[in-house]
Amino acid sequence: MRAGSGPPFFRPGTAPANRSWNHSLSLAASADIEKRHWQRLDKLGVLVTVIGLTGLALPFALFRANRIVPGEGIGILGSLDSVWSILLIAAIVLTLATALVRFNAIAKMAAGFLALAILALAVGAAANHLTPSDNNYARVAPGAGFWLLLLAFSLMVTDALTRLRLRPIWRVALLAIVLGAIGLILWSGLWSNLSLLKEYASRAPAFWQEARTHLILAFGSVAIATLAGIPLGILCYRVKLLRAAVLNTLNIVQTIPSIALFGLLIAPLAWVAANVPGASNIGISGIGIAPALIALFAYSLLPIVSNTVVGLLGVNGQVVDAARGMGMTDRQRLLNIELPLALPVILTGIRIVLVQNIGLVTIAALIGGGGFGVFVFQGIGQTAMDLVLLGAVPTVGLAFAAAVILDAIVEQISIKGRGA
């Protein structure tokens, strides 16, 4: 059929379908229609649905007689009043069906957020429903099913947000709304019967103390690294010989495993504290905040220095030449032209280390540095998963919020200096 019979640019498949269109639906044509049906399917939506349905099948809540014994999984039907549980299942199935089909991203985002809100309320209600009155030892935690549903709907929302390409300011506003909603639920006491918040309730002062330490370590180390890294980056940009040496050294530091680096610093700092007059008075010792801060600083230096160098090297050569030719001094050129144009890249470096350090600080608890890691390691020691989560959940939330906010700032600045 193909050989010699068709016109020179004959494409097998399409032409026969068109030719026989008038008579009946040929095989190829009906396949076409089927294909179009398939195209209405959202590929990521399929994944979301698979995860969501698995979540429905797994236990929604976990009931434990006390905080350290293994739990007993309970499905949605057992976790809530029958009416509410059926409504919840209906809402979940409906949202998953929305995820499956391609349509308006705004509607998808709204459906996803709505499902997340319902999930948040339901898990609190389940805890209230399952917790026996007059029993302070029993614990109700979200089960694997809840976490999978959370993952599924978060994926759906993230995908819709990516497609919407919201402006930076709106992304930050959305983050504020989500955080506000979580704050409102916490304040209302709806989640108070969840095991995580029971752990919190029994150690609230310690929680806020460690939160403060966590923030000081993460932001402090990044601040110091920024103050030291940007000038070092400028120096490496100006002095070519220095560039390779400095960047290679920092590269090696970056490859030291974090636990090892924290440990390695104990001996030298203990020596400094013992032998340098006044060192111990300003808080330097083998364990505690000082080694944690130094290790985090060391990790932060490479991304900031290298992004400063890359950002400065990326400034258009003609622009730099024009600035010189106009009679700007080296300092004026650096401050007025080169640094502002390199700023988006430098800020990206700062964003990387801030998110990285918010996570890394948890390990600092091992050497007495404090932070949310304290709960993580205590929880591992006591095999109390709720306590581990009390350390991990705020850490993840903090890193996520920092990433969203700094991404928005970087994008806002890049828009301003477009065409560089």
Query: Binding residues for other proteins, per CB under 8 A?
Result: 316, 318-319, 321-329, 332, 336-337, 340-341, 416-420
Nearer to other proteins, 343 or 367 (CB): 343
Residue 328 phi/psi, 5° resolution? -80, 140
Distance (Å, rounded) from C-alpha 410 to C-alpha 346? 9
Sign (positive/negative) of CA torsion 127, 130, 131, 134? positive
Nearer to other proteins, 62 or 341 (CB): 341
CB 273 within 8 A of CB 266: no
Least distance between other proteins and beta carbon 273 (Å):
47
Least distance between other proteins and beta carbon 324 (Å):
6
Nearer to other proteins, 13 or 419 (CB): 419
Least distance between other proteins and beta carbon 340 (Å):
5
Please give the DSSP secondary-structure letter assigned to residue 194: B
Least distance between other proteins and beta carbon 316 (Å):
8
Least distance between other proteins and beta carbon 325 (Å):
3
The label of the residue with tokens 């006591």 reads: 382
CB 344 within 8 A of CB 410: yes
Q: At what angle do helices 266-275 and 289-313 cross, to 10 degrees?
A: 110
Nearer to other proteins, 341 or 345 (CB): 341
CB 337 within 8 A of CB 318: no
3-state DSSP percent of the chain in helix, strand and coil, to 5:
75, 5, 20
Residues forming beta bridges with residue 73, ordered by sequence position: 62
Least distance between other proteins and beta carbon 328 (Å):
7
Nearer to other proteins, 287 or 328 (CB): 328
End-to-end CA distance of the chain: 57
Least distance between other proteins and beta carbon 345 (Å):
14
Nearer to other proteins, 242 or 322 (CB): 322
Distance (Å, rounded) from C-alpha 344 to C-alpha 346? 6
Nearer to other proteins, 150 or 315 (CB): 315
